């Protein structure tokens, strides 16, 4: 006969009144007393009579308290002995049930190994740019432009911005610029080598970023025109076994640059990883006076204690002071920044913390491909789900063996074991399994890591020699062992010995509900992960097979062909003689990443440029065979042709651009204008214009990161 909850509450309160208050001991004595009362009540005795009979057997108050004291003394004297006993019995049980142990260890190990790889990935992502000593004080200037229908977010900013910030704002300790021109051809002797990680930079960047020098003096390394610094990797490539400082490399087949320093290879956890840095003073662009252009990636180093948000609030006034007059010169004397903003337009410079760039920035003209903080949250959730599934599987396997452990629990309790003893015993087994699982998981992770690195494009490693790694792993193994084993431990230790020894194994609805809930949760998460995997796989298939406005199959790109110089056209003609080649084209502008991009603002010819009619276009210079080679569909008009000399000032637009100009009806023959390039500065001249006649319209391509509106000019 089972006692009701009211009976158990009465017993608990009465024992407290009689002085049985020691945690753990009280639970054990209540358990024994309840079992004895149930036995007496099965013979027909009332609850109170049975209760007092059991108390009499204990010796009433004095006997109960003496029993409590003896238990506490015994526990205090035998802690070490009991721990040794727990370990011995746990190892014996694990060996005896080796198949169960194998399943439990491998199930938990696979989950932990998966979590380990994900944690290594997340840690690597969060570690970006922390190697710079002043990382918390370095900020990049981003530009946001909203002009009419155009809205641009760029990682670049105006050329004069860096020096002006240093001069006008005392909170700016230093400022410097990068100017990326994409890949460059570099050679020492006769053979050109394409280098992708090349940039031009102000000398001040060496005082902003931590770029350790191996050779040369960083204080003067980039001060002179035609000077350059290179990474250790580049030095080993071009000057194996030699001292490169003082020697020269040829850039783009024309300019000789003197090497003034060698620096350590930039870490993989840097948002820029340049192997060659050229002095920016080597190019006339370093004097660019244009405040309305955005060609440079500008960084500032703020003085300690500076609130960057306070400096951010001052930048709109800087826009008005310096960009305003140039905008007025371009758009007429009636132009004001107040009117510009009142119509919904925008020109803003904002400070972005450098440590936020990798995970929080996806702007136009980033120095490298960044990640997204969303992936960190997503992968972190996946890691937790995998670990939860593994732990739930561990719990269910443990409770599923309850029938096998029930008699052990009953006999132990009859022999005097307390429930707390049994909890410790089962937790010891759980922790041992967790430690074994972690050991196997680390080995599995180490074996799988090369394949994971290939998949993720990372260079991750398990830091076995780092003390902090083991300070995390060992406590985590113990914690997971406790978390995974706490429910089975309390569940198994709760069996009443009299019921177990009689063969009555009614576990109760509450226990079944908990285990059922765990199983439902486990399968729900598994199904969710499977669905997400299928969705991602189908999305990748969609990206690979979707028609995107040009033919990407059977098209071979020969990069950096411009290195052939005047022989490039002859090379094309020679290639076309091969019967396997259907068509060929020459252009540095392709609808894929890693090729040239040239943005310019245009407006319908005959109108004054305003925020309402300016359209920012990507201008691609191509030859006569470009559209045919890439399989672009001409919806209206014609392709460029060498039979029309006037095509040197003609353009082909796509449907998006035509719509932006308001030329949906009969666009052929209409013209668009833009500012002409200035002769001295390299920027635009607000007093000079050039116009282009529309000769064709191509179908709008699928919108991509680079491509929404484009304009083709005859090459």
pLDDT given at position 419: 67
DSSP labels, 124-167: HHHTTTTTSTTGGGEEEEEEEEEETTEEEEES-B-TTHHHHHHH
pLDDT given at position 385: 87
Q: Are 657 and 710 in contact (CB under 8 A)?
A: yes
Q: If pLDDT is split at 50, 70 and 90, which confidence band does 318 have?
A: very high
pLDDT given at position 702: 42
Angstrom distance (rounded) from CA 121 to CA 462: 11
Q: Given a cut of 50, is residue 452 above it in pLDDT?
A: yes
> What average pLDDT does the segment 382-393 reach?
86
> What average pLDDT does the segment 497-526 reach?
65
Instruction: List, in sequence order, every residue forming a beta bridge with 229; answer none if it has no partner.
Output: 261, 277
CB-count exposure of residue 33 (10 Å: 0-12, 13-18, 19+): buried
Token digits for 434?
Answer: 């967790």
Token digits for 405?
Answer: 């452990």
Q: Are 699 and 707 in contact (CB under 8 A)?
A: no
Q: Are 485 and 426 in contact (CB under 8 A)?
A: yes
Angstrom distance (rounded) from CA 447 to CA 264: 30
Q: If pLDDT is split at 50, 70 and 90, which confidence band does 707 have?
A: very low
Residue 385 sits at φ, ψ, to 5 deg, of -65, -45
pLDDT given at position 715: 44
Q: Given a cut of 60, is residue 63 above it in pLDDT?
A: yes
Q: What is the mean pLDDT of the chain?
A: 81
> What average pLDDT does the segment 513-531 reach?
80
Q: Given a cut of 90, is residue 190 above it in pLDDT?
A: no
Angstrom distance (rounded) from CA 212 to CA 42: 84
pLDDT tens, residue by residue, 244-263 = 999 999 998 888 999 999 99
pLDDT given at position 234: 94
Q: Given a cut of 80, is residue 346 above it in pLDDT?
A: yes
pLDDT given at position 341: 86
pLDDT winner (highest mean) among 79-88, 397-406, 419-428, 460-469: 460-469
> What average pLDDT does the segment 633-649 reach?
86
Question: Which one, of 231, 173, 227, lies nearest residue 202 by Cα?
Answer: 227
pLDDT given at position 688: 76
Spatial neighbors of 221 by CB under 8 A, at least 6 apart, are: 203, 206, 213, 227, 229, 260, 261
pLDDT given at position 469: 87
Angstrom distance (rounded) from CA 435 to CA 473: 9
Question: Which one, of 331, 303, 288, 314, lies nearest residue 157 by Cα?
Answer: 288
Angstrom distance (rounded) from CA 714 to CA 697: 14
Give the least confident one: 221-230, 277-286, 327-336, 650-659.
327-336
Give domain limits for the chain.
5-77, 88-126+372-530, 135-360, 561-714
Question: Which one, of 195, 231, 234, 183, lies nearest residue 211 by Cα?
Answer: 231
pLDDT given at position 508: 46
For residue 611, give the 3-state DSSP assignment. Answer: coil
pLDDT given at position 240: 92
Q: What is the pTM of this model?
A: 0.74
**DSSP H or E segment with residue 33:** helix 25-42
Q: If pLDDT is split at 50, 70 and 90, which confidence band does 84 have?
A: low
Give the least confident one: 95-99, 111-115, 592-596, 674-678.
592-596
Between the alpha carbon of residue 706 and those of residues 89, 151, 593, 595, 701, the distances in Å are 66, 14, 7, 10, 11
Instruction: Calculate what percentage of the chain has a pLDDT beyond 90.
Output: 28
Give the least confident one: 52-66, 123-137, 158-172, 453-467.
52-66
> What average pLDDT does the segment 660-670 reach?
86
Strand 198-201 vs strand 276-279: parallel, antiparallel, or unpaired? parallel
Spatial neighbors of 174 by CB under 8 A, at least 6 apart, are: 166, 204, 207, 208, 300, 301
Token digits for 42?
Answer: 């099965």
The residue with greater pLDDT, 515 or 353, is 353
């Amino acid at each position: 006969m089972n006692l009701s909850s009211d009976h158990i509450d009465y017993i608990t309160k009465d024992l407290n009144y009689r002085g049985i208050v020691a945690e753990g001991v009280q639970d054990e004595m209540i358990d024994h007393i309840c079992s004895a009362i149930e036995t007496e009540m099965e013979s027909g005795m009332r609850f109170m009579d049975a209760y007092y009979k059991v108390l009499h057997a204990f010796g009433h108050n004095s006997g109960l308290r003496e029993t409590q004291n003896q238990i506490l003394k015994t526990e205090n004297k035998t802690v070490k002995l009991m721990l040794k006993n727990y370990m011995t019995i746990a190892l014996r049980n694990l060996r005896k049930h080796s198949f169960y142990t194998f399943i439990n260890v491998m199930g938990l190990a696979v989950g932990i190994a998966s979590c380990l790889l994900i944690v290594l990935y997340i840690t690597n992502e969060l570690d970006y740019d922390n190697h710079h000593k002043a990382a918390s004080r370095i900020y990049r200037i981003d530009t946001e432009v909203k002009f009419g229908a155009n809205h641009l977010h760029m990682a670049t900013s105006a050329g004069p911005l860096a020096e002006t910030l240093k001069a006008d704002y005392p909170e700016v300790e230093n400022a410097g610029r990068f100017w990326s021109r994409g890949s460059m051809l570099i050679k020492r002797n006769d053979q050109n080598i394409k280098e992708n990680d090349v940039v031009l930079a102000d000398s001040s960047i060496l005082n902003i970023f931590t770029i350790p020098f191996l050779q040369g003096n960083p204080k003067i390394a980039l001060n002179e025109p035609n000077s350059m610094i290179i990474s250790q990797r580049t030095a080993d490539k071009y000057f194996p076994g030699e001292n490169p400082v003082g020697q020269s490399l040829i850039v783009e087949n024309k300019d000789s640059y003197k090497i003034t320093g060698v620096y350590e290879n930039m870490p993989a956890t840097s948002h820029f990883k340049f192997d060659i840095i050229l002095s920016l003073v080597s190019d006339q662009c370093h004097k660019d006076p244009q405040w309305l252009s955005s060609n440079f990636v500008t960084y500032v180093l703020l003085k300690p204690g500076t609130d960057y948000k306070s400096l951010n609030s001052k930048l709109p006034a800087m826009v008005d002071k310096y960009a305003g007059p140039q905008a007025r010169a371009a758009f007429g004397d009636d132009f004001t920044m107040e009117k510009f903003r009142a119509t919904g337009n925008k020109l803003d410079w904002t400070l972005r913390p450098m440590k936020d760039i990798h995970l929080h920035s996806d702007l136009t003209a980033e120095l490298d491909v960044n990640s997204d903080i969303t992936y960190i949250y997503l992968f972190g959730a996946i890691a937790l789900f995998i670990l939860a599934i593994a732990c739930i599987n561990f719990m269910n396997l443990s409770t599923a063996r309850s029938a096998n452990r029930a008699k052990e629990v009953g006999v132990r309790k009859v022999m005097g074991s307390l429930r707390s003893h049994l909890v410790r015993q089962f937790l010891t087994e759980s922790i041992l399994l967790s430690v074994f699982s972690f050991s196997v998981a680390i080995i599995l992770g180490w074996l799988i890591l090369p394949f994971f690195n290939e998949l993720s494009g990372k260079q991750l490693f398990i830091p076995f020699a780092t003390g902090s790694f083991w300070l995390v792993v060992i406590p985590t193994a113990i914690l997971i062992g406790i978390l995974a084993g706490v429910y089975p431990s309390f569940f198994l230790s709760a069996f009443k010995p009299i019921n177990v020894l009689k063969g009555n194994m009614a576990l109760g609805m509450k226990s079944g509900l908990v285990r059922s809930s765990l199983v439902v949760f486990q399968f729900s998460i598994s199904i969710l992960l499977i669905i997400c995997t299928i969705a991602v796989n189908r999305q990748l298939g969609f990206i690979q097979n979707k028609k995107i406005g040009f033919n990407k199959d059977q098209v071979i790109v020969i990069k950096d062909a411009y290195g052939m110089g005047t022989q490039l056209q002859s090379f094309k003609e020679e290639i076309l003689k091969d019967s396997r080649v259907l068509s060929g084209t020459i252009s540095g502008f392709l609808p894929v990443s890693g090729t040239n991009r040239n943005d310019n603002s245009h407006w319908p010819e005959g109108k004054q440029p305003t925020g309402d009619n300016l359209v920012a276009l990507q201008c691609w210079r191509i030859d006569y065979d470009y559209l045919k080679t890439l399989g672009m569909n001409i919806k209206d008009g014609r392709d460029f042709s060498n039979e029309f000399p006037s095509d040197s000032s003609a353009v082909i637009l796509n449907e998006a651009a035509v719509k932006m100009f308001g030329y949906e009806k009969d666009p052929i023959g209409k013209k668009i204008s833009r500012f002409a390039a200035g002769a001295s500065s390299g920027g635009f001249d607000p007093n000079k214009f050039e116009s282009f006649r529309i000769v064709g319209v191509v179908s709008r391509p699928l919108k991509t990161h680079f491509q929404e509106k484009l304009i083709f000019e005859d090459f």
